[in-house]
Amino acid sequence: MGLVDGKVCLVTGGASNPGLGHAIAHKLASEGGIVIVTDVDGEGAERTAAEITAQGGQAQAWAQDVTDEALWDQTFDRIRAEHGKIDALINNAGIAVLKTLPELTLADYNRQLLVNMTSVFLGTQKAVALMRETGVKGSIINMSSVAALVGVPACSAYAAAKGGVIG
């Protein structure tokens, strides 16, 4: 019996291999979870899900831009329709634009805040709503980074966003 047998687990940012989301998705599946892998790279998410199913796990892959609230609504509408609940959300999606402050554009800065921090708010909000609706006492894991705690060269926006996740 696995630690998350039959639990519906959404992992954002699960396409990159190697990557934390990819590893988390595999681990949850190996522990009996029903894993939904999302990523802006839909083909990469499909590869992760295919690896999991080839190893006997249960996984689905959906393309998702975590910065788009309407896509979060679609994701949770689909979870509700196909699974009836969510037990775990792992807000893992993230990007780092490695530029020094003079090189960093406002667009670079804003994109990192959207992907690394705003997406966590959106996902958490939608997951809590579905958990309350269905009476699930689930888990939400919001990934941050040591960059939020210590200075990292060329990572000011990334560090600020990850610090925002910590709160």
Catalytic residue IDs: 158
DSSP H or E segment with residue 122:
helix 119-134
32: left (phi over 0), alpha (psi -120 to 50) or beta: left
- From residue 88, give the alpha-carbon distance in Å to each of 6, 14, 159: 11, 14, 25
Q: Give the distance, in angstroms, between the CA of residue 66 and the centroid of all CA atoms in the same chain.
A: 8
